[in-house]
A and B are shown apart, each in its own frame.
Chain A
Amino acid sequence: MTFQKYVLGPLRSLQTRYGGHPFRLFIAVGKTCALAHVFTEFGYIINPASGASMLPTFEVLGDHLLISKLHRKGRGVEIGDIVSFDSVAEPGERVIKRVLGLPGDYVLKDTPGSGSSEMIQVPAGHCWVIGDNLPYSRDSRMFGPIPLALIKGKVIAKVLPWDERRWIENDLKPVNVSPST
């Protein structure tokens, strides 16, 4: 009785609504997929991340990150934020790095401690991105500043593995150095 009421009934109404009109069902599925696409394109998406360049913040394999597409094209991105962007030299690849310079900033061109202390200014509409794992990261030290238009979103949380879920805060804080000590 309950089975008939809660399962067969809705099924039958679904069948009368879509069963006789496969075309209408097709359209409805397509519209739903398009709605989901708009959400993942302009809202939020969970993407897997891989690679050693962001150790120890993210693991080499198995991390899934929540990415906010509201920050696409570098909107509202600040220094210290982790962003996901399209690779400059390998189209189609998606990369995750930390923003360490915004337009107008002066940044260290090479790895700290490499002997070179040359600074360059980040040009308009660009940003300077560096991986957390300096020896194993291909980043702005090799390919220079990247256009902000390549940024697809900002990483706001780590969701998988579930035990290690956490919000990604901006770790880069000004240092308080008291002159007396």
Chain B
Amino acid sequence: MAFPRLASIFSRGSRYRPFLRDFSLTLFGIATWVPVCIFINQHVGELTFINGASMYPYLNTGYNNSTRKDIGYTSKWNSFHNLERGMIVTFWSPDHPEVLAVKRVIALPGDKVYTRAPYPYPTAIVPSGHVWVEGDNRDREASKDSNYYGPISMSLITGKVTHVLYPWSSFGSVKWWEFKGKTRVIKARE
């Protein structure tokens, strides 16, 4: 018995003494693990369910013929360090503070990006501490990305999607270094 005194509090005045005691102790034992899980989810890694078509065709490949969502593994360790072009990141949407978005890093600080339609200028230079993110879906309606709200602050980034877990067909690590984007970027550094 791990907590004899606590157990006596729980079971006082009850007819179902042993059951109630065992039950509440088990519940308490489970509850003590909740903060540990929260810590791991915040700082180590988390399962991420991909919503919407913004990363089609790479993620949610079957978004238009099934309701199934892809599941990814997001690494939360050093979330905004060592970012590279082509990495898939999760970040808090700049215009909706409670919405987590998943997009691909297209350009790093100092890079010059040739922008697309909703953006007011033909090119943009990414300021320091910011990245340019775009969805893989070229459809403007499907992906609200940096062409819509501009470069995002790295502080908004919560993690990098490093693995795809669920559709078994695409199970494996995200090979971001193989990504060839259609957006033209003049790199400030390699």
Q: Taking beta carbons and an 8 Å cutoff, which residues of A are in contact with B?
A: 30-31, 34-35, 37-38, 41, 73-74, 86-92, 123-126, 146-151
Q: Is B63 an interface residue (CB 8 A)?
A: no
Using A125-B94, A150-B153 as known contacts, list a sample of 20 further A-B pairs with CB atoms less than 8 Å apart, ordered by residue number in A: A34-B35, A37-B38, A38-B35, A73-B92, A86-B155, A87-B155, A89-B127, A89-B129, A89-B130, A89-B153, A90-B128, A91-B80, A125-B97, A126-B94, A126-B95, A147-B92, A147-B95, A147-B153, A147-B156, A149-B93
Using a Cβ cutoff of 8 Å, how many contacts connect chains A and B?
A: 75
In the bound complex, CA of A35 to CA of B94 (Å): 30
Residue interface mask B89-110, A partner, CB < 8 A = 1: 0001111111000000000000
Interchain Cβ contacts under 8 Å between A and B, 18 examples:
A30-B36, A34-B35, A34-B38, A35-B32, A38-B39, A88-B130, A88-B153, A89-B127, A91-B153, A91-B155, A92-B155, A124-B96, A125-B93, A125-B97, A147-B94, A149-B94, A150-B155, A150-B156
Given A123-B95, A125-B97, A147-B92, A90 and B129 contact (CB-CB distance below 8 Å): yes
CB of B42 closer than 8 Å to a CB of A = yes
Which residues of chain B have C-beta atoms less than 8 A from A34's C-beta?
35-36, 38-39
Contact B97 A73 (CB under 8 A): yes
Q: Which residue of B lies closest to A147 (CB)?
A: B94
Complex: A149 Cα to B98 Cα, angstroms: 7
* CB of B177 closer than 8 Å to a CB of A: no
On chain A, the residues within 8 Å of B38 by CB distance are 34, 37-38, 41
B35 touches A37 (CB 8 A): yes
B154 on the A face (CB < 8 A): yes
CA distance A99 to B127 in the complex (A): 23
- Verify if B33 is at the interface (C-beta below 8 Å from A): yes
- What is the CB-to-nearest-CB distance from B168 to chain A, in angstroms, rounded to a whole number? 33
CB distance from B181 to the nearest CB of A (A): 23
Residues of B within 8 A of A (CB): 32-33, 35-36, 38-39, 42, 80, 92-98, 127-130, 152-156
List chain A residues, Cβ under 8 A from B156.
147, 149-150
A37 to B38, CA, bound (A): 9
Contacts of A125 in B (CB 8 A): 93-97
- CB closest residue in chain A, given B157: A91
With a CB–CB cut-off of 8 A, which chain A residues contact B97?
Answer: 73-74, 125, 147-149, 151
- Within the complex, the shortest CB–CB distance from B84 to chain A, in Å, comes to 15
Q: A147-B92, A150-B153 given as contacts; is B32 within 8 A of A31 (CB)?
A: yes
- Minimum CB distance partner of B39 in chain A: A34
User: B4 CB to closest chain A CB, in angstroms?
Assistant: 11
> What are the residues of chain B within 8 A of A30 when measuring CB–CB?
36
A146 to B155, CA, bound (A): 11
Chain A residues with CB below 8 A from B35, complex form: 31, 34-35, 37-38
- Establish whether residues A91 and B95, one from each chain, have CB atoms under 8 Å apart when the complex forms: no
